[in-house]
Amino acid sequence: MMRLLLSTLTLSALLLPSTAAAQGSPFDTVVAFFTALSEANHQGIRDSTTENFLVLEHGEVWNLDKLLSVVRPKTTLRRNFFSVVSEDVRGDTALVNYWNKALERSENGEERTRAWLESVVIIKRRGAWRLLQMHSTRLTTEQIPENVAFTERR
């Protein structure tokens, strides 16, 4: 009987995801947000943010409704690249600083690269990480230090 119980517990531990894996990294929420933004997926944007989410960018403050009002299906293909500067997690709150680069290609093949230096406050709500606030500084690609290594994420 003890052997059966031990076997069952071992099998359960192997098959069930760990709590850390199930909850994911706070930065995974940033990736999910930009994937949804790139796809003009309003529900995906809502799923990765709090209801009182704010974006502070280039002297403007946008709430979630304002952001969603300008997110429309695009004819461009966008690829997102990131380089995390720091991630500080304290309980149900995380502060993440990162470089963000987007490569966009239009239907006619024109390419453009955009870049930002960003920070986000992420909080855990009902077991899931959600963006509470984002501060974004637009950059030219020349302003990105040469030693920054980007990784494409989706």
Res 81: pLDDT: 98
**pLDDT at 57 exceeding the cut of 60:** yes
CA dihedral defined by 98, 137, 48, 94, rounded to 10 degrees?
50
Mean pLDDT of 124-136: 97
Spatial CB neighbours of 136, under 8 Å, sequence gap ≥ 6: 55, 56, 57, 58, 100, 116, 117, 118
In the chain, helix, strand, coil percent, each to 5? 30, 45, 25
Sign of the alpha-carbon dihedral angle for 121, 132, 140, 105: positive
Question: How far is the C-alpha of 16 from the C-alpha of 153, rounded, in Å?
Answer: 25
Mean pLDDT, the chain, integer: 87
Single pTM value for the model: 0.82
Residue 3: pLDDT over 70: no
Contacts of 60 (CB under 8 A, 6+ apart): none
The pLDDT, as a whole number, for residue 129 is 98
Query: What residue spans define the domains of the chain?
Result: 27-152
Neighbours of 111 (CB within 10 A): 10
Residues 77-116: tens digit of each pLDDT: 999 999 999 999 999 999 999 999 999 999 899 999 999 9
- In angstroms, the CA 149 to CA 81 distance is 9
Residues in the chain: 154
Beta bridge partners of 88: 95
| pLDDT at residue 27, as a whole number | 98
Q: What is the CATH number of domain 27-152?
A: 3.10.450.50
